[in-house]
Structure 1
Amino acid sequence: MTDTRSNLIDVGRITSVFGIKGWVKVHSDTEPAENIVSYKPWWLKTRHGVKAVEVDEFQAHGKGFIAHIKGVDDRDAAEALAKVTISVERAQLPELDSEEYYWHQLENLQVISVFGGAEVVFGRVSHLLETGANDVLVVKPEADSLDDKERLVPYVPGQFVQKIDLDAGKIWVDWDPEF
């Protein structure tokens, strides 16, 4: 999840160390996954604050990637970065076509169902899930929600997602309130 007050957007994480020379294993949330290395600098969200780092070597490894961060030359230094979120500046993200959205743009939008012709507030998008078939909006209830149920709404524009208005902070969905 991204901090909306920040200029940074989360794009992956360092999962663990790799070897003894300061390399780390990287999980990427970018599409395609290898695009994570094209963002410079990486901002690491450590328990001591946010720190800019430069990746000087990067390569595919198994189902993920390994990277060497400039100045991190031994296993102990690399271990201090394990389980750290990798972020980049929002301005570095490429422009999208109209009707396309980054996940962070959808988070915290109010979700309103228009199922059956009546508008009903479900809550707000907490986060999204990638399921393989399609992405899913995880909608958490709020004070003026229909009820206190969390809902999972398939993110399928034109079918279930009817309209998105970023300026209004709302998403209209055609989704049965009974689900």
Structure 2
Amino acid sequence: MINISINKPIQPLLIGKVGKSYGILGWINIFSFTEEQEKIFNYLPWFFFKEKNWTRIQIKNWKKYKNNFIVHIKDISDRSVVSQFTNADIIISKHTLPALKKNDYYWNDIINYKVFNIDQHYLGTVINLIRTRNNDILIVKNKLKIHQKNILIPFIDNKIIKNVNTDKKFILVQWD
């Protein structure tokens, strides 16, 4: 059997951010972007990406700390070494996510979907999503001539979001 070491993720997917070092023994703060924060530890291996450099890391241990987590990386027990990862992105290979049922999707899948209102007017393309306490928000790059700013559309199923078509890659919304 051949053991292949991957030094860069396949289909990179951002799932978190590295914060500052914690203590003197090589622990570091991390911020999870996953829907359920603790699930960030289900998606391994992690790659840190900073200043165009990839580093594959292995987690030795982790703990809940305040509203986030602290992580101890295998073979690092020095604050000065771990601090080089401060502000790095935490990336995984997309294939590590669980498979979805038909017509289900991950948030990152709907980036670049076209957005139409129920009158079939093209509003623009999804460029990002914002997570808020009440509901998530689609950020749509505006294609309307009268407004130059991005359109912010609350992601409220059935009320505003009428259909997410994963085959044809578009979203139908109740929006003017």
Counterparts of 1:71 and 1:80, CA distance in 2: 14
Matched, 1:112 2:113: no
Aligned to 2:157: 157
Q: Tell me the secondary structure at the aligned position of residue 80 of structure 1.
A: helix
After superposition, what is the alpha-carbon deviation per residue over 1:86-144, rounded to whole angstroms, capped at 9, x for unaligned?
01111111123444321101111111111xxx2211111111111111111011124xx
After superposition, what is the alpha-carbon deviation per residue over 1:19-75, rounded to whole angstroms, capped at 9, x for unaligned?
111110011111321111122210111214222110111110111100011122211
Q: Tell me the secondary structure at the aligned position of residue 21 of structure 1.
A: coil
Aligned to 2:26: 22
Aligned to 1:32: 36
Counterparts of 1:98 and 1:156, CA distance in 2: 20
Matched, 1:103 2:107: yes
2:135, 2:154 within 8 Å by CA — same for their partners in 1?
A: yes
Aligned to 2:75: 71
Counterparts of 2:124 and 2:52, CA distance in 1: 34
Aligned to 2:45: 41
Q: Tell me the secondary structure at the aligned position of residue 85 of structure 2.
A: coil
Counterparts of 2:44 and 2:83, CA distance in 1: 22
Q: Tell me the secondary structure at the aligned position of residue 34 of structure 1.
A: helix
Counterparts of 1:91 and 1:21, CA distance in 2: 33
Provide the TM-score with structure 1 as the length reference. 0.86
Compare 145-154 and 65-74 and name the one that shifted more. 145-154
1:120, 1:146 within 8 Å by CA — same for their partners in 2?
A: no
2:103, 2:166 within 8 Å by CA — same for their partners in 1?
A: no
Aligned to 1:3: none
Q: What amino acid is the match of 1:151?
A: I
Query: Over the residues paired in the alignment, what is the CA RMSD in angstroms?
Result: 1.6
2:12, 2:93 within 8 Å by CA — same for their partners in 1?
A: yes
Q: What amino acid is the match of 1:175?
A: W
- State, as a whole percentage, how many aligned pairs show the same letter: 28
Aligned to 2:172: 172
Matched, 1:123 2:124: yes
1:125, 1:138 within 8 Å by CA — same for their partners in 2?
A: yes
Provide the TM-score with structure 2 as the length reference. 0.87
